[in-house]
Amino acid sequence: METGFFQFTVGNLQCTLITDGKHAYADPKALLFPDAPEAELASELAMHGISADNWPCWVSDYTCLLIDTGKRKILLDTGAGEMLPEAGKVVENMRAAGISPESVDCVLISHAHPDHVGGAGYFPDARIVMSHREWQFWTGSPTLPRLPDDFRNLLTGMVSSLLAPLRERVELVDGDTEIAPGIRLVEAPGHTPGHMALLAASRGEHLIYAGDAVIHKIHIRNLQWSPLVDVLPDESTRTRNRLLSEAADNRAVFVGFHLPHAGKISRDDAGFAWHQLVV
C-alpha cells in the first residue's frame, strides 16, 4: 500500500487497512515452512516467483485493521511500536487516512507477539482487549519447544516487557466474545495458545481478521505447513482450515497482519486460493 492505508466497506462497516511498516525476516524457509518437503516447497515458491535456492529474506508487511461501526472505532493489533526502525508507523498512517488515534475506542490484540502488541501504548485511552488464555500463557512460564534457545529467550523477554505496562488496563476475555453488534472475537489457537481472530458481518457482507493464523499466502494452499513460531502447529492447521472455510463460504474480505493486502478466498483443487482485492 503506497499510501500507507486502504479503505473499503463491509456492509455498514467502514474498514481501513493501516500499514505499520515492514520487516525483513532472515532464513524464511526455516521460519515459515519448517516441515514442508523440499521439492513441494520449491514448486510452491516458484509459483510466487521465489527461487528456493536464493531466498535470503522475507519482507513482511505489518497491517493493522481499523473498523469504524459509525458509533465506535475498533483497532485490530497495534504494530511493533518502538521495537523496529522500519515499523511503528500505525499512528502516522492512521492520521494520513484522516482518522485521529484519540478517536479509537477499543484495541483488540490478536496475540501477544511484539509486532502486534508493541504499539498499544499509542492508544492510552482505548479499552484494550485480549484473550485470558494468551495473557496467562505469556505471564506464566511459556513453553516454546519448537524455537531455538536464543530466539525463545529474546521473544519471551520482549513479550513480558510489553505486557507489564498493560496489566492495569487490559480486559481479558474467555472464549468467543461479542465486541459490538455483529462483531465477534473468536478463539483461533495454534500460532499461540490464546490467539484470537475477528469475524464481522453487516448487511449480509462479511469480514475476517485472521491475525497470524495465516502468515504467508503459501499457507492458504498448504494448511499443514505451520510456521516455526506456531506454538501448537496441529491446532494452527485446524484454525487455518476453519477460518479459510468460513471466508470462502461467506465470501468474506480476509485480512491477515502479515499478508500484503486484503483478499477474498475461494476453494480450488488444492484447497483454498487467494484473490487479492487490489494488486
> What residues make contact with Zn ion under the rule CB under 5 A?
115, 212
Paired with 261 in beta bridges are: none
Residue 191 contacts residue 256 (beta carbons within 8 Å): no
Our CB check for Zn ion shows the closer of 198 and 201 to be 198
Least distance CB 116 / Zn ion (angstroms): 6
Least distance CB 84 / Zn ion (angstroms): 12
- Cα-based distances in Å from 219 to 22, 141, 182: 19, 29, 28
Q: Which residue has the cell 475498533?
A: 74
Least distance CB 125 / Zn ion (angstroms): 25
Our CB check for Zn ion shows the closer of 13 and 129 to be 129
Paired with 197 in beta bridges are: 186
Of the candidates 75, 79, 140, 77, which has an alpha carbon nearest to the alpha carbon of residue 102?
75
Q: Which residue has the cell 477474498?
A: 264
CA–CA gap between residue 137 and residue 113 (Å, rounded): 12
Least distance CB 241 / Zn ion (angstroms): 20
Of the candidates 249, 241, 196, which has an alpha carbon nearest to the alpha carbon of residue 219?
241
Least distance CB 115 / Zn ion (angstroms): 4
Our CB check for Zn ion shows the closer of 115 and 246 to be 115
Our CB check for Zn ion shows the closer of 115 and 187 to be 115
Q: What are 216's three cell numbers?
A: 504467508
Least distance CB 251 / Zn ion (angstroms): 26
Our CB check for Zn ion shows the closer of 25 and 181 to be 25
Least distance CB 111 / Zn ion (angstroms): 8
Paired with 18 in beta bridges are: 5, 64
Angle at CA 243, nearest 5°, toward 240 and 249? Answer: 130
Our CB check for Zn ion shows the closer of 122 and 257 to be 257
Q: Which residue has the cell 477499543?
A: 106
Our CB check for Zn ion shows the closer of 131 and 202 to be 131
- Cα-based distances in Å from 53 to 26, 45, 154, 216, 236: 14, 10, 28, 18, 27
Paired with 106 in beta bridges are: 74, 127
